[in-house]
Each structure stands twice: as C-alpha cells, then as structure tokens.
Structure 1
Amino acid sequence: MSVSDPAPLDAADPLGPFRERFVIDHDLVAYLDGNSLGRLPRATLERLTAFVREEWGGRLIRGWSESWVELPVTVGDELGAALLGAAAGQTVIADSTSVNIFKLLHAAAGVRPDRDEIVIDATNFPTDRYLVETVARARGMTVRWLEPDLVDNVTTEVLTAALGDRTAVVLLSQVDYRSGTLLDVPALTEAVHAAGAVVIWDLCHSAGVVPITLDADEVDFAVGCTYKYVNAGPGAPAYVYVAARHLAAAEQPITGWWSAADLFAMSDTYEASPTIRRMLSGTPSVAGILAVQEGVRLIAEAGVEAIRTKSEQLTAFTIDLLDEAGLEIVTPRDAALRGSHVTVRHPDARAITERLVARRVVPDFREPDLIRLGLSPLTTSYAEVVAATRILVEEAAPIG
C-alpha cells in the first residue's frame, strides 16, 4: 500500500493543537473508537479534581444552592448553543440516552393523542428499537417498521411510504451507528410534519462532529449522549431537547421532584415545571455535568464547522486508503452523506478486531461483520489513520 507521508497533513491541520489538550495514551498505535468513547480532556481532569477538593470537599451541601441546582439547565443551554443550534431554555442535561428516549417517546405521543402509530427503522440502535416497542405496548400503540438499505438508509421516499394519518411519532438517528450514513434532518422532519406527526432525533453519533440546527429545522424533540464526540467520559449524562412550542404539552412519565414547578416546596401534589426542567427526574450527577461542560467548551472553541471540515477530510483520506487496499466499505462515498466513522465489511470482522486490539489499534466491531473506524477530529491524527490502516490491511485480506 503506497501511502503518502501523513506528517504534512498533520502539520497543516488547524485542529492539530487540540490533540495535545487531551490525555493521549502513547502506548497505542491508534485509537479509532472515539465514536464510542471519546478521550479525556485535560481540562476535565483539572476541573473534576478541583470540584472534588474545593466544591464537594469544601462546600458540601452548600454547593447545591451556590451553583449545582442550576447546572442541568445552564450547561444544557451551553450545549444547545454550541452543538444543536438551539436557543436557550430548550435543552437540559439529564439521565442516560435510554431514559431520555423513554421520556420523549411518551411526551411526543402525548402531543398527538389522537394517533396510535410509532415509526422507526428496524436497523436503528437496539435501545431505540427496544424502547419504541416498550412504549407502544404501554400506550396501546402500533410500531410501523422501516426496512432501509444499509448505506442509503432512511430516505424521504422510504419514510413517506410509512407515514399516514395514524402516525403519531417518528424516531430516527441522524447518523446510522453501523454504516455512518448521515440522514437529511430538514427534509425528513418536513416529511413527518406534512403527515401531521412529530419527530424525535437521536443525535448520539452526530452531535459534536456535524453542524446541527434544531431550531431552524423545526425539530420537535431530540436526545443524545455526551461520552462520544463530546468527550464527557464513560456514563456521562445525556441531554434532552424539547422545542419551546411543545414545552407546555410535553408530559414525561418519570415525574421526580427535580421536574416539579417548585423544587423545594415538597408539595403533596405534583405540578410540572413550565420550563425545560420538566424533563428532569431525580438528583443530577454534578460531576458528570461538569465533564459535559468542559467537553462542550472545547467543541465551542474549535467550532463545529471546523470540526466537520476535518471530519470530512479524515473520512475521505481513510476511504482512499481502504480503497487502495481493496477492502469493502459500507459507508457513503459522498462526504455530505456520512458522519465521522468509516465502516469496513469483512466476514472475519470480529476476529480481525481482536487482532487489531492485540496490536494496539483500537477500532470497533458491530455485528455481524462490520469494523468501524471512528475518527474524532479533535484527537485523531492522519498519522494514526495511516498506521491503523496498514495494520488492518495486514490482518484483513481483501475479499474477491
């Protein structure tokens, strides 16, 4: 495999200096799994150390009244502005992606009470599919399954064929977790609205690497995690977006005290907050939210547009290397149609992935035969891609 020297590409990379602002394990040849768990920002290490010593250790319970109570909303607003194209008051940091999808499915179905179908693609991430089935059973609704192509994925044609006057909610992922295909949020959202339904967008594989404009696209609801491209750490809290026009009608099923209109009134009866706080439930993870804040601030400093530009360049570079090696790629060739990971299909994908890890290259395996190469623009270098691809070619003989 003839590969040009990646050094000039890394030297000319305007985001290259950000790599040194993360904890880098130099024992690894390449870490290509930032689409599952991002690297640790050095600022987060410092922030959490200070939090433990000074806020938790020094302020104890006083920390709640001094700043912690407002963190889910204030950091939610930061994330919404920097990553989602969302005005203040519509995004909150809370719970896990799974819990938040459960909340949003109930809330979304509640704003279309005269309809009884939920639409989702049969190839979506397992959590999304499982929760759709659970909520549909609980509410006496029917699931209508889309069967999209792996690479072309959910197009407007595929979606509109399933929409009708019974459609209440559509749940879609902006980036397919297997192929990396990037869906057309504005067009698909418009199609859902034309059918009189509402849409929930799962942004787990897009937020932080793809420019998102929820307000401008008139998205109804959105959800996403923060441990991938936001680099907030394993199990970091997720986020919920509810468009302002839906806040008054959005009723979620886990009505803990943090979602009450008066948090400390300890009222005998529940009254939901009129604000985005109504999507909260129990006591938030303060340390987790602080980690989210540091990750968001790094992205805001770099700029999502610049991150997207490097993502497109990195993925194109990787595809060229894989093409030259004769490996099968199941990721769109058009940069405008893909997220920030490139997927190789191989019948021995699981074994190859294990051998790559043994050789200190960390990719990601997905059933039944996919190897994902996650390219995180703030931390992935061109040199890493070249080194990883060389080893991948050695371990995976081309098909045909």
Structure 2
Amino acid sequence: MSQSLDAADTLARFRDRFVRDPEVVAYLDGNSLGRPLAASIARVSEFMSGQWGGRLIRGWDEGWLDLGQRIGDDLGRVALGAAPGQTTIGDSTTVLLYKLVRAAVAARPERSEIVIDRDNFPTDRYVLEGIAAECGLTLRWIDAGDATVDRVAAVLGEKTALVVLSHVAYRSGYLADVPAITDLAHEAGALVLWDLCHSAGVVPTRLDDWGVDLAVGCTYKYLNGGPGSPAFAYVRSELQGGMRQPIQGWLGSGTPFEMGQGYVAAPGIRGMLSGTPPVIGMLAMRDMIAAIEEAGIDAVRVKSVALTEYAIRLVDELVPSAVLSSPRAAAERGSHITIDHPRFEEIMPALWERGVIPDFRRPTGIRLGLSPLSTSFDEVRIGVEAIAELLGE
C-alpha cells in the first residue's frame, strides 16, 4: 500500500531536495523540527563567504536590514494569505507573542479579560499568565478539550479584550475554525491573536480574508528554517497605527540611525521590531517558502490529509491498543496525529535506536508529525510497524 501511495504522490519529487541521514529510516517529527533543504546549506555557506565575508558591514545597506520584512511578505503571499506590509520575521515566538499581546490589551484599555484554552502550548499560557499579573488582567480559561466555536462563545463577554488560541493544537492536532471564532470575538468587541506554529506552511491560511487581527508563528517546523530560527508576526494593516508594542528597541524607531533622544515608533509593521535582525537565522526558510510556492499550499494540504489518514488507518490496524487522541475528521485535523498508550515512554529509546523518530508528549502520547514535502508514505508504514512490534502487537 505505501509503495503505491508513494508512486501516485504528485509531490514525491520534493523529497530528494532534503538532507537525509541513512540511519534515519522514518522521520516523523517534522512538526517539531523540519529537515534541512540541501539548497539551504548552499545558501548559508554562500552568505557567510560571499556576503558576510565579502561585503562585511556594507551588507546592512545592501539589503540585510529589511530582510525580515521581505521574507515576511513572501511568507504572507505563499502560506498565510496576507498582503504585503503585514508580516515580519524577527525574535522568538515567545517574544513576539509577548509584544503582540501587550499591544493588543493596551488597545482595549476598558476591557480586563483574555481568553485562552488550557490545552494551548505552554509558552502561550505562561506568557499570558505573566501579562495578566503584570497588567492586572483576568484569564478566562477554556477548560474542557479543544477550542471549539461553542467553547469559545461560552467564555466571551463584554470584558474580553483579547482571544489567544492556536490554529492547530500542539498535542491533539485539532484544527480550529479560525474565521468563525474570529467573527465571534469581533462581535464581542475583542481582538484575536492566532498562534500558527503548527499550521504555517502546511494548512492553507487566509489571514486577510478571515479578518484576523494578529498572528505569530515559528519557522523551524513546517517552514524548515532550522533550530531556533526566528519567528514571524502578522499585524493587520488597519491596526498597525493604533498599536504600540512594549519592547522599544532601536530598529523599531522611525529614524534608527539618527540615534536621537526619545522613542517614536516606525510606521507600519516595522514598528513591531525591536533589535537587530537575525540575518543568518532567516536564510534557510527562504528555500522552504519557495518550495511551498512551487508545490502550492493547497496541494501540500491534500498530501497532509492523505498522510494523516494513512497513519490513522495503520494505527487502527496494527496498534489497536493505542488510543487516537486526534480528530478522525480530516477537516478538524492539522498535519500531525497523537496516539496514546501507557507503554509509549518505555519504547521511545528503542524507536530512536532503530532510526524511527517521532516525539513523545506526556503523559502517554506519541506524535506523528508528517511534513508533506519531505515525508513518504513508506516512512509512515515503517514507523507504525516499529511501534507495533515494540509493543508486541
């Protein structure tokens, strides 16, 4: 079955573009760290010898300084459904989340509550807990399960300043209804910030069309930017003039090279920046953005669905004692699935020794993260068969 699926895969040609270790027979963790592209190795090497080594400080005047906005526009066009001037690269997800949340609650000074779900990624919860304590705000928690439209509606109110949710839940893989929830929040007079870490580059997203206010996301998962590559921030153009982020660094000022007294924010998305851009850290994602554009984000989604459906079918057949903790309906699922079993933590070292690389999420979950341009159906088969064998099934 896996061989016939791979033979029919219209995106199979992309797999050979990624760097592969022959000892890794099934890489099923693309939702944590994407494989590098061979083109990215060449790009970074050329930059270090030719641009950094050759141009030295002159490079700042020759394009480095605005690289984050240029890559942000490319990412917005290819994967986010965002017009130019609304997306920038820089800082970590945590720092960008802090900046955008602080800017959002300051823009709603008459409101005192932030909505978030308890199944959100720890960074999101921790940052919001800190901001709530810092600003005297109240967190309204969605306590039971995934952030569905009904559960969000139940905690919205006239005091809601901001809703912070993930497009795809990091553990379950649940795919939230972004346009419906965004509309609900707007009807209540609140702003919405979406965490796109587990969806950017793999789930078609239409930030402009959906009326999304703010978004953040990392670039080392399905955007293959490399370990610790800088995150991105999206701020809807209509909001940019009325929002002021709290980390007032030199590059976010309107006249950074005047070095003058007093901070005046730069207009547009550059006002969300703080410090010097991490130029080398941005380079690798350019090749993945180009590959997604070549493949087409809709085709990437089609293969993503096919991969996760195949994984679920294999788990049902070969690991019947495991519990599927992700939605069965493809329309409610991102590009990873989580299965739970009390022995999964025990078998993880043996899986890695075999070159089968998923990741473990406590207390009992294995996530199978399937990156469509780099993952084959045969890798899925090898991975699930190894899990079944180690469990004695």
TM-score, reference length from structure 2: 0.98
The offset of 1:311, in angstroms, is 0.3
Does residue 166 in structure 1 map to residue 159 in structure 2? yes
CA distance, structure 2, for counterparts of residue 249 and residue 354 of structure 1: 51
Residue type of the partner of 1:342? I
Partners of 2:299 and 2:189 lie apart in 1 by: 36
Counterpart of 1:56 in structure 2: which amino acid? Answer: W
Amino acid at match of 1:165: E
| Alpha-carbon distance in structure 2 between the residues aligned to 1:80 and 1:69 | 19
**1-structure distance, mates of 2:341, 2:285:** 35
Which of 248, 259, 263 is the aligned partner of 2:256? Answer: 263
Q: Percent identity?
A: 52
Match of 1:108 in 2: 104
Deviation sequence 1:286-325 (CA, Å, 0-9, x none): 1111222222111111111000000000000110000112
Specify the code of the residue in structure 1 equivalent to 2:133: R
Matches within 5 A, 1:46-57: 46-57=42-53
State the SS of the aligned residue for 1:368. Answer: coil
Residue of structure 1 equivalent to 2:30: 34
Moved more, 28-37 or 320-329: 320-329
Q: Distance in 2 between matches of 1:209 and 1:63?
A: 33
Correspondence for 1:131: 127
Counterpart residue number, 1:89: 85
Alpha-carbon distance in structure 1 between the residues aligned to 2:42 and 2:328? 40
Name the counterpart of 1:145: 141
Tell me what 2:357 maps to. 362
Runs of 4+ in 1 over 2 A off after TM superposition: none
Amino acid at match of 1:369: T
Structure 1 Cα separation of the partners of residues 204 and 119 of structure 2: 24
Picking from 59, 69, 77, the partner of 2:65 is 69
What SS class does the counterpart of residue 200 from structure 1 fall into? Answer: strand
1:158 deviates by 0.5
| Counterpart check, 1:297 vs 2:290 | yes
Q: Quote the Cα distance in structure 1 between the aligned partners of 2:182 and 2:247.
A: 27
1:372 to 352, 367, 374: 367
Matched, 1:121 2:117: yes
How far apart, CA to CA, are the structure 2 residues paired with 1:95 and 1:301?
27
| Secondary structure at the counterpart of residue 155 of structure 2 | coil
Task: Provide Cα deviations, 1:222-275, integer angstroms capped at 9, x if missing partner.
Answer: 000000000010000000000011101111111100100112111101000111
The answer to whether residue 336 in structure 2 is matched with residue 341 in structure 1 is yes
1:396 Cα shift? Answer: 2.6
Given residue 112 of structure 1, which amino acid in structure 2 is its aligned partner?
R
Correspondence for 2:390 among 381, 386, 395: 395
1:8 aligned onto 2:1: no
Counterpart CA distance in 1 for 2:308 and 2:391 is 19
Scaled by the length of structure 1, what TM-score is found? 0.96
My pick for the range that moved more, 292-301 or 100-109, is 292-301
Residue among 191, 202, 219 paired with 1:226? 219
Counterpart Cα distance in 2 of 1:396 and 1:106: 47
> Is 1:281 aligned to residue 274 of structure 2?
yes
Measured in 2, the distance between the counterparts of 1:347 and 1:85 equals 41
In structure 1, which of residues 180, 183, 201 is the aligned counterpart of residue 173 of structure 2? 180
Q: What residue number does 2:242 align with?
A: 249
SS in 2 for 1:249: coil
Say which SS state the counterpart of residue 61 (structure 1) adopts.
Answer: helix
Q: Give the CA RMSD over aligned residues.
A: 0.9
**For residue 213 of structure 1, what is the aligned residue in structure 2?**
206
Local SS of the residue matching 1:190: helix
Whole-Å separation in 1 of the counterparts to 2:158 and 2:291: 44
Give 1:148 shift.
2.7
Q: The residue matched to 2:194 in structure 1 has which SS?
A: strand
Q: What runs of 5+ residues in structure 1 fail to find an aligned partner?
A: none
Q: Say which is worse superposed, 6-15 or 75-84, in terms of deviation.
A: 6-15
Residue 20 of structure 1: aligned partner? 16
Give the letter for the 1:238 counterpart.
A
Once residues 355 and 329 of structure 1 are traced to their aligned partners in structure 2, the CA distance between those partners, rounded to angstroms, is: 21
- Please report how far the alpha carbon of residue 45 of structure 1 lies from its aligned counterpart in structure 2 after TM superposition: 0.6
- Provide the C-alpha distance between the structure 2 equivalents of 1:53 and 1:333, rounded to a whole number of angstroms: 49
Match of 2:345 among 344, 350, 371: 350
2:182 paired with 1:189? yes
CA distance in 1, matches of 2:9, 2:333: 21
Q: CA deviation at 1:397?
A: 4.9
SS in 2 for 1:107: helix
Deviation of residue 138 (structure 1)? 1.1
SS at match of 1:37: coil
Unaligned ranges ≥5, structure 2: none
Return the offset for 1:27: 1.2
Q: Residue in 1 aligned with 2:40?
A: 44
Offset, 1:208: 0.5
